Structures are given as structure tokens and as C-alpha cells.
């Protein structure tokens, strides 16, 4: 990876699709991008930070209040250093937090501080949650503010339901990320 590699903030939230974040992180890293992974506490219940650390060859951020050995304000420096903020998978919870301006964990705090670069959100949740009018209103509110979305696909979901809510294909997410970074 070159010194001038573009930087992707990869936010991972507590969806069963969190395991696909490993493929996303790997694909971005292999394409030459610097990947800074930020995981919610719930995401760490599905996939370990060590997995993403190994694939990105960098620290994985999970805690806003960890003791620091650096002199910057970490959530601000992460936001300022980004060329793209990608949240995959994005739960109804993170979408709702962002739409309401709630910044109460490392990921939501960093995203709220991102300015001037695209934020790409890839929802993944049960169909009923995705189609819920509140979730759809939150997506609409974020889209109106300039956030971008990759629609979930229709599939057999982890709960056994068939419907829209599965994380978009990894290849689709990587292609859109590359287009935003290189476009």
C-alpha cells in the first residue's frame, strides 16, 4: 500500500452479515486502499476485531473511551483522514442513530464528524425491520442529507424469512466503493 493510498473507514455493526465485512475489508485492502475498521460492540459478538485487524493490517476501533497513547482526538482524526466512509452491514440501529444525530459509540461519533467525503450505507436486517416506516423514513432523511445507500437484496434471511434485507453482494459493495473513491 502506498503512502498516498486512499483511506476507507469501514463501519461494521451487529448484523449476522457482519462476517461479510471480512471479505469487504480484504477486497479493499487487496485493491490498495488503507482500511480503518470501526466496530460497534454488537458487531464484536458476530466477528472478532482480530479478524479485521489481520485483514486490514491495522488497529480496529471499538471503544471511544480506551486509554490513548496519542495526542489527537481519535474520532475526529479518523473522520478527517477518510476518503470514504462505508458502513457494511448497517443495522436499523445505526441508521436510526445517524438520522437522529445520536453519537454514542465510536462508529456513530466518527460518522457524525465525517465531512466532505461520501458516506455509503449498506443496510442488512430482517425484511420487517427494513420495510418499517420508521426505518424507511430514517433512510430517506439520510439520503436527503447526502448519504448514499446500496439497497439490500432479496434472499432467504437468517431468521428463515424470504424477503428484502440481506446485505448486498460483496462485489456490488466493492464496485460502488471503488467508483466513489476513484470517480
- Residues recognised as catalytic: 159
DSSP secondary structure letter of residue 70: S
| C-alpha cell, 10 | 469501514
Give start and end residues of each alpha helix (H) in 12-158.
20-30, 49-56, 74-80, 92-100, 106-113, 127-131, 133-144
Are the C-beta atoms of 173 and 26 separated by less than 8 Å? no
Query: In what helix (H) or strand (E) does residue 68 lie, and over which residues does it extend?
Result: none
- Residue 108, CB half-sphere, CA atoms under 13 Å: how many? 17
d(CA 117, CA 59): 22
Amino acid at each position: 500500500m502506498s503512502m498516498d493510498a486512499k483511506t476507507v473507514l469501514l463501519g461494521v455493526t451487529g448484523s449476522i452479515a457482519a462476517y461479510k465485512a471480512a471479505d469487504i475489508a480484504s477486497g479493499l485492502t487487496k485493491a490498495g486502499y488503507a482500511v480503518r475498521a470501526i466496530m460497534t460492540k454488537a458487531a464484536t459478538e458476530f466477528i472478532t476485531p482480530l479478524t479485521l485487524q489481520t485483514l486490514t493490517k491495522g488497529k480496529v476501533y471499538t471503544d471511544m473511551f480506551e486509554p490513548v497513547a496519542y495526542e489527537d482526538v481519535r474520532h475526529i482524526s479518523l473522520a478527517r483522514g477518510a476518503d470514504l466512509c462505508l458502513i457494511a452491514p448497517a443495522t436499523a440501529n445505526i441508521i436510526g442513530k445517524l438520522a437522529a444525530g445520536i453519537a454514542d459509540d465510536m462508529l456513530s461519533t466518527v460518522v457524525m464528524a465525517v465531512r466532505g467525503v461520501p458516506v455509503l450505507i449498506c443496510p442488512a436486517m430482517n425484511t420487517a425491520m427494513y420495510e418499517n416506516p420508521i426505518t424507511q423514513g430514517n433512510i430517506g432523511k439520510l439520503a436527503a442529507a447526502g448519504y448514499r445507500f446500496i439497497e439490500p437484496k432479496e434472499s432467504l434471511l437468517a431468521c428463515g424469512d424470504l424477503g428484502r434485507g440481506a446485505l448486498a453482494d460483496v462485489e456490488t459493495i466493492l464496485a460502488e466503493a471503488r467508483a466513489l473513491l476513484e470517480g
